[in-house]
Amino acid sequence: MANTSSNGTKGNAETDFGFQRVSKEEHSGLVAGVFDSVADRYDLMNDLMSGGLHRIWKQSLIDWIKPRPTTRLVDVAGGTGDVTFRFLERLNDLTNDQRPQIATICDPNAAMLQVARERALDKGYVGDIEFLEAPAEALPLPDRSADVCTISFGLRNVTDRAAGLAEMHRILEIGGHFLCLEFSPAIVPVLAPLYEAYSDRILPWLGEHIAGDREAYEYLVESIRRFPEPDALATEMAAAGFKNIKCRSMSGGIVAIHSGWRV
């Protein structure tokens, strides 16, 4: 069943923050509070929560991109930089030549970006990455400036999804590729009871005891349940102008990658 979230509709005064209805102005502040609170433990929590599966999901995203040495990536909601680092690692496997700066991590949360900068320093990637503090709805990038635009576990948090999708379409080159990796509410029925128990009990427990913020992880669960079903998201992508849209579900429907092209 398609959910009733209004995040996909431009111009509405209210939207979902988890299961609460809040004004759009409040929404971005509440989401910022979640990521301010978890930034330091975000990467550890990702491994714990997914049992390491998020690494496989992100590798599948990079596989689908099929990066070439000249591919310009913009990773929206890039957070602590995971997708961008995996993209650059894949390029390193292709070529050892010096490259111009080719990857951009864009995220509105300064604390998440700070972790990304520190990780980039550790990995020796600082010169390869541009860091931009901005939301998906207002990307400070020129039209047609990216070959690939990714958003990984980010679209759920975007206050105005239609505006975000339109921006990600705008910055893509003609022939550019958009990929969205996101949790999905479309779990296969056989997994659903187990997944629900995990979401309702174990995730909030991990949030409280490891990340020190139970509510942030309750928000995570609620925001997944409010996120559109795969077909509904494909319809929103089409409304933003994307063509040749495809969706791959993984891990029994726990996550999905949507792919679309600017033509």
Q: Is 158 in the site for ligand SAM (CB under 6 A)?
A: yes
Can you tell me which of 49, 83, 203, 233 binds ligand SAM, judged by CB under 6 A?
Answer: 83
Least CB distance to ligand SAM at residue 189 (A): 26
Least CB distance to ligand SAM at residue 247 (A): 18
Nearest CA among 61, 85, 139, 83 for reference residue 107? 139
Can you tell me which of 8, 67, 154, 260 binds ligand SAM, judged by CB under 6 A?
Answer: 154
Which residues between 114 and 143 bind ligand SAM (CB under 6 A)?
Answer: 135-137
Q: Is 76 in the site for ligand SAM (CB under 6 A)?
A: yes
Q: Which is nearer to ligand SAM, 135 or 185 (CB)?
A: 135
Least CB distance to ligand SAM at residue 98 (A): 27
* Backbone conformation region of residue 258, classed left if phi is above 0, alpha if psi is from -120 to 50, else beta: beta
Q: Is 104 in the site for ligand SAM (CB under 6 A)?
A: no
Per CB under 6 A, the segment of 16-24, 105-113, 168-176, 228-236 that binds ligand SAM is 105-113
Can you tell me which of 71, 159, 184, 259 binds ligand SAM, judged by CB under 6 A?
Answer: 159
The site for ligand SAM, by CB under 6 A, has a size of: 21
Q: Is 218 in the site for ligand SAM (CB under 6 A)?
A: no
Q: Which is nearer to ligand SAM, 52 or 193 (CB)?
A: 52
Footprint of ligand SAM (CB under 6 A): 31, 35, 76-79, 82-83, 107-109, 112, 135-137, 152-154, 157-159
